[in-house]
Amino acid sequence: MYTTSSAFLDALIEANISFIFANIGSDHPALVEAIAEARASGRKIPEVITCPNEMVGMSAAHGYWQASGVPQAVVVHVECGTQALAGAVHNAAKGRAPMVIFAGASPYTQHGELKGSRNEFIQWIQDVHDQRGLVRGYMKYDNELRTGRNVKEIVHRALQFANSDPKGPVYLMGAREVMEEEVEPTPNDVAAWRSIEPAALSGRGVEQIGAALMRARRPLVVTSFVGRNPNAVAPLTALCRRLGIGVLESVPNAMNFPHTDPLYQGNQWNHPSQNPVLADADVILVIDSDVPWIPTVSKPADSARIFHIDIDPLKQQMPLWHIKAEGVFRADAETALGQINTWLDANPADDVAVQARADHYTCLHAARARELAALERRPEGGAMTAEYLIARLRLLASDDMLFLNEGISNYHTVFNHLALDRPGSIFTSGGGSLGWNGGAALGVKMAQPNKTVIALTGDGSFMFTVPSSVHWMARRYAAPFVQIIFNNRGWKSPKLSTLAVHPDGYAAHANQLDTSFEPVPDYVGVAAAAGGAWGRQIRDPAEVDEALAEALHIVREEKRCAVLDVWLDHH
Ligand SMILES: Cc1ncc(C[n+]2csc(CCOP(=O)(O)OP(=O)(O)O)c2C)c(N)n1
Ligand SMILES: [Mg+2]
């Protein structure tokens, strides 16, 4: 027995896919049968990971890719399973995370004309006009499997899109009759479906950017996700050091530049104030950023010369986007930075000017370090701060740790006080649909089983992760991680959003804004009930060191999830 479904599984193996994050239904008998048949006959197939919630499964595929660079597969149920992927679709698209999603489809025969024909009531109810349309706005590619004869071709074409820049998820669907079709196995021709080669700068572009940066008084790099490709960090660091260029992160998604380097100038999120480094720059290289600044609060000087490099500089999926750049380049960051460095080998900069620029930034960096250190002091009177917590975690940090940051109003706290220098050591969703961190932590751990995985999450974001599914999967698939919850008893960010627009209105004087989580859930209890997690609530800074050490011990030695429910000031 060899069916379309068998060929689909073979295609995944050929594409080096190890896991199928699966949530199956009445659309998948052919696939379930083909999986059982392959196991019985000893044919290699990806390991199937049962995902009680689709969003968690897709977030796991997202995290797996972030920690390995290898896309995985997600299998979901028809149109409603596709809808249940929910905000994970947005996160993968915005975070440019490749993966192949496969959904079944309602059978297209109803009298038993073909194997797989309708035999359950739900197949009429789940028949919709445009199932692919549910996610089309977010997919690099979508298609329907219409015959088993070319299923491998379609899977490899889909993955070629997923793996080519800008990367992203792809969606395939196939009705029951097609997935049941018996076919002849076809040869492995995956080598004919390579991703497109990274795009380079034009020669003129290299010279323009190189010369402008070299002659600048206050050159600045602004980036958000250069470090999504960890190999791009070294050429960025080399460029900045050889020219004395400051680096400002805007809404960082990765470790883009070593935070302890004196050229590092901090990270800007929704801070409602002009960034002085940005205002002072005369030449700015924006490289890999979706939001380099928020012009209503912080922007470059009108006279600043701006160059923009991104593999998608038009931001094709964003209806409104603009920065006033004199040069816009569609190029891969690692490649482009390498080209500029090579140009500088032949066109050396003036050492005195470089030193002056570096001295200026070194001075600012030192002032910033003093401010951060002051924030890290153990709070008096026993109140907990996120800064203190993260600073203590930093002292325990080791090269085997990978961090996930969904800290929301504490995103910047995590980046600032972990102060990471290691490329590939921290991830965010890259999007804005909350609840990524739980599933993603599972995926990161599955991709890097020898690492200690630490997810940092807001309490609201913990609830968005579907913790019952996440913690059940963590135990079932032996993928334990530490989860640290910034418990401010609710949603601080929407409250800040309101006050930023209406600083002195009714909301500012109201007793409550419907953002509170009172009575407060027992988050440790949720994780313990679902997956046997260990956990502890911390309210006093005096407990932090011991609790962190215990959590690390539990996750490393007992191989169980460890949840720290850290009580901060009320939001
Ligand atoms: C799926 C989804 N629903 C709603 C929102 C809107 N939203 C943005 S921040 C936020 C609150 C998050 O709460 P929490 O994780 O506790 O972080 P805090 O703001 O308290 O730091 C909400 C509801 C969103 N971004 N994504
Ligand atoms: Mg909160």
293-336 residue pLDDT tens: 999 999 999 999 999 999 999 999 999 999 999 999 999 999 99
Residue 156 has phi, psi (to 5 degrees) of: -70, -35
Could you tell me if the CB of 459 is within 6 A of ligand 1? yes
- Average pLDDT value for residue range 505-523: 96
Residue range 245-276, pLDDT digits in tens:
999 999 999 999 999 999 999 999 999 999 99
% of the chain beyond a pLDDT of 70: 100
Q: Does residue 571 have its Cβ closer than 6 Å to ligand 1?
A: yes
Distance 394 CA to ligand 1 centre (A): 25
Is any atom of ligand 1 closer than 6 Å to the C-beta of 437? no
Rounded to the nearest integer, the mean pLDDT of the chain is 97
Q: What percent of the chain has pLDDT over 90?
A: 99
* Protein residue with its CA nearest to atom 17 in ligand 1: 458
What is the pLDDT averaged over residues 430-457?
A: 98
Residue 288 has pLDDT above 90, yes or no: yes
pLDDT band of residue 381 (cuts 50, 70, 90) is confident
Residues 434 and 464 sit within 8 Å (Cβ to Cβ): yes
- Classified as helix, coil or strand, 310 is strand
pLDDT at position 382 over 90:
no
Decide whether any atom of ligand 1 lies within 6 Å of the 406 Cβ.
no
DSSP 237-295: HHHHHHHT-EEEEES--S--S-TTSTTEEEEESS-SS--HHHHH-SEEEEES-S-S--T
Give the number of the ligand closest to the Cα of residue 409. Answer: 1
How far, in Å, is the centroid of ligand 2 from the Cα of 362?
A: 35
Q: Which residue of 53, 436, 461 sits with most ligand 1 atoms within 8 Å of its CB, as the best mutation to test the pocket?
A: 461
Do residues 47 and 18 make contact, with C-beta atoms less than 8 angstroms apart? yes
For the CA of 461, the nearest atom of ligand 1 = 15
pLDDT at 156: 98
Is the pTM higher than 0.95? The answer reads yes
In short, whether 434's Cβ falls inside 6 Å of ligand 1 is yes
Cβ of 55 less than 6 Å from ligand 1? no
428 neighbors 252 (Cβ within 8 angstroms):
yes
Query: What pLDDT score does 393 carry?
Result: 98
pLDDT category of residue 439 using cuts at 50, 70 and 90:
very high
Q: Is the CB of 433 under 6 A from ligand 1?
A: yes
Residue 380 reports pLDDT greater than 90: no
- What is the C-alpha to C-alpha distance for residues 571 and 566, in angstroms, rounded to an integer? 13
Cα–Cα dist 72/469, whole Å: 19
